Amino acid sequence: MERSFSKEVQSLRLGDGEIFHGEGILAVTKALLQSGVSYVGGYQGAPISHLLDVLCDAEDIMSELGVHLETCTGEASAAAMLGASIAYPLRGAVTWKSIVGTNVAADALSNLTSSGVTGGAMIIIGEDYGEGASIIQERSHAFAMKSTMWLLDPKPDLPTIVNMVEKGFELSEASRTPVMMELRIRTCHVHGSFVAKDNRSGEYSGNNKIKEPKFDYGKLAHPPSTFAQEKDKVETRLSNARKFIVDNGLNEVIDGRLEDVGLILQGGVFNTAQRAMSMLGLGEAFGDADIPRLVLNVVHPLVPAEIESFCAGKKAVLVVEEGNPEFIEHQINTILRKADINTVIHGKDCLPLAGEYRTEVLLDGFVKFLDAAQPALLEAPDMGNTAARILDARAEGAALIGGGLPPRPPSFCTGCPERPVFSALKVLDAEMGATHISADIGCHAMATLPPFNMGNTILGYGMGLASSASVAPNFDQRVISIMGDGGFWHNGLNTGVASTLFNKDDSILVVMKNGYSSATGWQYLPSSARDRHGDNPDMSVENAIKGLGVKWMRTVSTYDVAKMIKTLRTARTTAEKGLKVIIAEGECMLARQRRERPEAARKLAAGKRVVRTRFGIDDEVCTGDRACIRLSGCPSLTLKPNPDPLRDDPVTHVNNDCVGCGVCGEVAHAAVLCPSFYRARVIANPNWIDRRLHALRRRVIAWLMGEEVAAQEPVGEKAAA
Amino acid sequence: MTDATPQPVTILIAALGGEGGGVLTNWVVTALESHGLIAQSTSIPGVAQRTGATTYYIETFPTPLAEMGVDRPVLSLYPSAGDIDLMVASELVEAGRAVQNGYVTPDRTTLIASTHRHYAIGERSGMADGRFESGPVLDAAGRRAKTAHLADYMALARESGTTLNAIMLGVIAGSGVLPAPEDAFAAAIRDTGIAIESNLRGFAIGLEQARLGAMADLPAPDAKRFRGTPASAVEARARADFPEALQDTLIEAVRRLVEFQSPDYAALYLDRLAPVHETGDLILTKEVARHLALWMSYQDVIRVAQLKISPDRRRRVLAEIRAGDDDPVVVTEFFKPGIDELCSILPSILARPILALSHGRRWRDRAYLGLHVKSTTINGFLRIWLLAKLRFWRPHSHGYREIQHNIDSWLGVILHAAETDAALALEIALCAQLVKGYGDTNRRGMAALNTIRTRIIDPVLGETMSSAHAADAVANARTAALSDPTGQLLNDTLNAIATARPQAARSQAAV
């Protein structure tokens, strides 16, 4: 895993009254243990990848409590785990990245929510929305509404988050309904503190197993039970949930001086709203503000009585609801209409329809709202100017810079095994013309960014090949689909490989086999060399593909650019019809470096022979055309000032981040670029053979060079005129 | 609500993914918490963790927790424009981005930034020089910040064998913006328990830097490497016949051409330059002098072999890979000459038919001799050494004749243009920049030069095309050729020029 939490997980053992310091996801884990869960699971993906990492690192602590951990192969399997809570009084929690993970889990979720639960069931949703998000921008809120699940959106401080996890399980049990808790990106990574409680075991768990199976047809998601379940959802579970929310004060009303107006806001945007009001002179540092607020830590279901009593007597209320459509705003309008309360509801008329609600956005929206609502006691004549000054800070800074700062998109890491595959594809494009490439989710999606700009569609995780099914028969050239080993196990084996074979489609699939779910932080996959316990799972991508009946399959080391080009050329031109699979094999370089570097350092310290490889460019031979960078884009392949007094343009340069993977040299060689690349192997702690051989070589070469060495003075350096 | 109570202190750290901005963030949080303060940090790693631009955000509060009672301040997870007390950037353009986003304001922001450059992909992939100019960013940073600590902390880290993060932490502690003492930050390094000694060394350097309150100078001009070997008679002639302003270029050129071929060849260089000098246009002469020398020392396999075995090159490689003179090092060279490169060193009588045959059968793009040669082994060195020794044969080779012909033709056009249009002559001279690289790249560059010549230069000089703005047309075409390796942009530009030109001619006729 990318990040080890082995030290931090010790804080999961804290007991009553002790102070916990740490990250949001670690706090959630602690809250799960304080709630007495019997099972946890999930599928990695930002921003909750670390939650899964924490669970793995905490497996010892959890097993003492009898908690089972399942690292699932996809969100569908994670959602299905919650089925344990239908018939049995088992509390459990699963986690994934949303919206995409929720989409994948949808089938199991619908069945789960129809049946309803006995033990508390919770889904921790990493809401990958706004700046830093890596996926399509949609709301998870719709799933909560259509499947009748409850959605928690707590204020982003650790005490509230922990409390809402604990209360969430009680709410789930009180209303026999699964609960989703959404945590935004910044909240998942927030560092803070809270007062801990003791952990506790579930009623039943690995330590106290269930003895009898329970049969209840009424709890099966199967007709005719489903008809009764639909009624039960809206008639019983919903009202029980509303009662629990009110009885336990899960939503908060905070009074303010300007009594004729108010804000109804999602808990998750509370801190941002507080800061925006402080900046306008309407709030202070400890959470007080002039505008009264109804803070929804539970955003679904709404409690009509709460909305009515908050709005009654106010002339205008602003709903601060991030994302679209504005489900909460719609519901509030309906609630007030039915209660004949004529408070004007503002929302998306003052705030943007789409996008993240950052401080500047709310600041601007509050000014618009107060301007429209004109609260009687408002005394902030300077408010508009304050907002303008803050928003102008941007314009003034940008004007000074003069625009045009080079963007810095993410890219393949130094030494990444996936880069050379796209280099090979690009070299081949120059020879054969470009063909359609169905891209996929994973690190390889970086190929869609400069300098490769490759990939014509992205349809979802593991969907690369499936999305080619209708392109291939309509495209002049044979099309190529990309899939990582992560996407392959997530669903590509079924939706892509099996479906293509079943339909006898003529297509090329490149499987990037780097051994991990790398983009999310190197979680193990079924085909990883080892699993989280250190055992070899012995589930190979190749065997799975062969097992389905693929005839044309080649495994190529990604660093062998020439062979990769040749294999791709064959796949594109062979007369053989059907699915052609190329397994592009190369271990994730970050993971490999993390393993090999300490090993090399140990050997070096112990005086053992270590060979260090890196690449370089002769600055006198390089003419600065940069074709090498356009074909590789390696971060360690950069520029340096041209030392040649006759040239101005910078030369290409390999910096010290180079890990010696050799792709730059291989690509330059395969694409016939230039002879400026060299590979240097330095032997540290050489043995006597190394030393003697080196001395001999140096002597002979010095003798051959004799005259030149004597004649040539060292080259001098001076600043350019 | 007017608020006279203490306000949160806000810290935004801009970094590149994979640089370890999280480590710096954790140190700051640990320092604040250990001093009894509340600290909240957050980040948006997302996909940016793979070398993209990213940020970390920290808030703290000046009142110690012990004096706070049960209430806690509400800390924001978002940085806001105009609301940042301490802006830290690990690189110059990231500092620029912070200024652009309004995170650096004169009323309150202390800016700490390392002024080194980590080039973005757009800057790195241009065919000429795509580097973003540092000056405006430094200037803007200095003007927007209340206090600025700008220095090349990365160079300091490299020199002292420590990390950028450790130095930055030192500057943060020394800047006095945060409500914790310097010791608390040093303690945070010790608390992490990793590379304590070197990180504390970096921290001390940072503290010192903060005291200096460094404001960076503009980057120094690039260091240039001049050849040291004197070449007697020809050099004396260069000194005698050409003005002082050209001497740096000419001496370097003459020495390089003696090394490349012979004193006679260097003399030919001066012969060729003399008529250009006689035009009296010093700017033109300087550009021609530079490009002529580069073109005349063209990089055929013999020249590349010569460069690969030069003793200076060995010293450079060892420095580059941080190896000592006695460390056993094996250097492998990647050669892949094609038919063009091989024919270039054959006599024309052989080269011409081979080239014609291979052109017809499209061998030129396919037939190569791929060689991985270890230049540090006796066998490998000998092969390259023998290749370099072919220098005596070069004047009889096909490539030599072709190139001398191309050079003379280029010079002829420049001199022709110089009679009437100095600006045009200069632009034509600068077109030599197009001919660089090897193999296909070189062919493409030469083809671009020829296209510009046949479609603009020749028609203008032959007076079949209007001469108005001819220099601009050549400059635009050259820029287009250098910004798009496929040649499409050059084509579009030439077409646009061609459609605009006849109109220009007609309107002139009408007058």
Task: Name the DSSP class of A220.
Answer: S
Measure B208 CA to nearest chain A CA, in Å: 27
How far apart, in whole angstroms, are the C-alpha atoms of residue A238 and residue A218?
18
Q: What is the pLDDT of residue B219?
A: 60
On whether both B358 and B459 belong to a single domain, the answer is no
Burial class (CB in 10 A: 0-12, 13-18, 19+), A247: exposed
**pTM (two decimals):** 0.92
Residues of chain A with CATH 3.40.50.920: 252-400
Residue B273 lies in a domain: no
On whether both B179 and B129 belong to a single domain, the answer is yes
pLDDT in tens, A366-382: 999 999 999 999 887 67
On whether both B64 and B164 belong to a single domain, the answer is yes
Under 8 Å between Cβ of A22 and A103: no
Amino acid at site A318: L
Supply A221's token pair.
């998601």
Residue B464 lies in a domain: yes
On whether both B71 and B201 belong to a single domain, the answer is yes
On whether both B25 and B158 belong to a single domain, the answer is yes
Pairing of strands B39-43, B53-60: antiparallel
Q: Is A190 helix (H, G, I), strand (E, B) or coil?
A: coil
- The hierarchical CATH code for the domain A8-247 is 3.40.50.970
Contact flag B308-A618 (C-beta cutoff 8 Å) = yes
Q: Determine the residue of chain B that is closest to A668 in CA distance.
A: B334
Question: In chain A, what residues touch B315 (CB-CB under 8 Å)?
Answer: 714
Question: In chain A, what residues touch B376 (CB-CB under 8 Å)?
Answer: 697, 701
E strand or H helix at B418: helix B398-420
Considering only CA atoms, which of B44, B52, B34 is closest in space to residue B12?
A: B44
Residues of chain A with CATH 3.40.50.970: 8-247, 419-591
Residue B179 lies in a domain: yes
Task: Name the DSSP class of A497.
Answer: I
Contact flag A360-B50 (C-beta cutoff 8 Å) = no
Under 8 Å between Cβ of A87 and A118: yes
Q: Which of B27, B50, B313 to mutate to test the interface with A (most CBs of A within 10 A)?
A: B50
Residue B222 lies in a domain: no
Strands (E), B314-446: 329-335, 371-374
Contact flag A642-B128 (C-beta cutoff 8 Å) = no
**In this complex, which of A47, A185, A400 lies closest to B140 when CB atoms are compared?**
A400
Question: In chain A, what residues touch B333 (CB-CB under 8 Å)?
Answer: 675, 678
Residue B220 lies in a domain: no
- The hierarchical CATH code for the domain A252-400 is 3.40.50.920
Q: Which residues of A505-532 are buried (b: 16+ CB within 10 A; e: fewer)?
A: bebbbbbbbbbbbbbbbbbbbbbbeeeb
Question: In chain A, what residues touch B122 (CB-CB under 8 Å)?
Answer: 406-407, 450
Q: Which of residues 266-285 of A touch B (CB under 8 A)?
A: 270-272, 274-276, 278-279, 281-285
ipTM over 0.85: yes
CA A292 to chain centre: 36
Residue B249 lies in a domain: no
Task: Name the DSSP class of A88.
Answer: S
Q: What is the pLDDT of residue A131?
A: 86
Measure B289 CA to nearest chain A CA, in Å: 9
Contact flag A191-B96 (C-beta cutoff 8 Å) = no
Q: Is the bond leading into A406 cis (omega within 30 degrees of zero)?
A: no
Dihedral of the alpha carbons of A213, A216, A222, A228, in degrees to the nearest 10: -150
What number of helices (H) and strands (E) belong to chain A? 25, 27
Give A152's strand partners. Answer: A181, A298
Which of B212, B238, B266 lies at the terminal end of a domain, its last residue?
A: B212
CATH of the domain at B47: 3.40.920.10
* A157 lies within 8 A of chain B by CB: yes
Measure B262 CA to nearest chain A CA, in Å: 14
**In this complex, which of B315, B323, B441 lies closest to A673 when CB atoms are compared?**
B441
What is the residue whose two structure tokens read 């009672």?
Answer: B69
* A650 lies within 8 A of chain B by CB: yes
Task: Name the DSSP class of A289.
Answer: B
On whether both B146 and B52 belong to a single domain, the answer is yes
Host domain of residue B154:
9-212
On whether both B36 and B137 belong to a single domain, the answer is yes
CATH class of A419-591: alpha beta
> Who's near B475: CB < 8 A, 6+ residues apart?
B427, B430
Considering only CA atoms, which of B173, B93, B212, B174 is closest in space to residue B141?
A: B93
Number of independent structural domains in chain B: 3
Considering only CA atoms, which of A646, A598, A594 is closest in space to residue A620?
A: A646
How far apart, in whole angstroms, are the C-alpha atoms of residue A352 and residue A350?
7
How far apart, in whole angstroms, are the C-alpha atoms of residue B34 and residue A572?
62
Q: Determine the residue of chain B that is closest to A128 in CA distance.
A: B46
Residue B255 lies in a domain: no
Question: In chain B, what residues touch A717 (CB-CB under 8 Å)?
Answer: 223-226
Q: What is the pLDDT of residue A284?
A: 92
Give A318's strand partners. Answer: A263, A346
Contact flag B327-A683 (C-beta cutoff 8 Å) = yes
**In this complex, which of B131, B136, B378 lies closest to A402 when CB atoms are compared?**
B136
What is the residue whose two structure tokens read 């809120």?
Answer: A141
Give me the sign of the Cα torsion angle A456, A458, A459, A461.
Answer: positive
On whether both B440 and B377 belong to a single domain, the answer is no
What is the residue whose two structure tokens read 């035009």?
Answer: B279
How far apart, in whole angstroms, are the C-alpha atoms of residue B187 and residue B26?
12
Dmax (CA) for chain A in angstroms is 103
On whether both B306 and B350 belong to a single domain, the answer is yes
Low-confidence ranges of chain A (pLDDT < 70): 1-2, 381, 707-721
Dihedral of the alpha carbons of A6, A7, A8, A12, in degrees to the nearest 10: 80
Which of B212, B233, B261 lies at the terminal end of a domain, its last residue?
A: B212
Pairing of strands A480-484, A19-23: unpaired
Measure B355 CA to nearest chain A CA, in Å: 18
On whether both B343 and B488 belong to a single domain, the answer is no
On whether both B206 and B91 belong to a single domain, the answer is yes
Which of B361, B396, B431 lies at the terminal end of a domain, its last residue?
A: B396
Task: Name the DSSP class of A71.
Answer: E
On whether both B191 and B94 belong to a single domain, the answer is yes
Residuewise pLDDT in 10s, chain B (511 residues): 544 678 999 999 999 877 778 899 999 999 999 999 999 999 887 655 667 888 999 999 999 999 998 889 999 999 999 999 999 999 999 999 999 999 999 999 999 999 999 999 999 988 888 899 888 899 999 899 999 999 999 999 999 999 999 999 999 999 999 999 999 999 999 998 888 999 999 999 999 999 987 665 656 667 888 888 776 789 999 999 999 999 999 999 999 999 999 999 999 999 999 999 999 999 999 999 999 999 999 999 999 999 999 888 999 999 988 888 888 999 999 888 888 888 888 998 888 888 888 877 777 767 788 888 999 999 999 999 999 999 999 999 999 999 999 999 999 999 999 999 999 999 999 999 999 888 778 888 999 999 999 999 999 988 888 878 899 999 999 999 988 888 899 999 999 988 876 544 444 443 3
Under 8 Å between Cβ of A285 and A333: no
Residue B268 lies in a domain: no
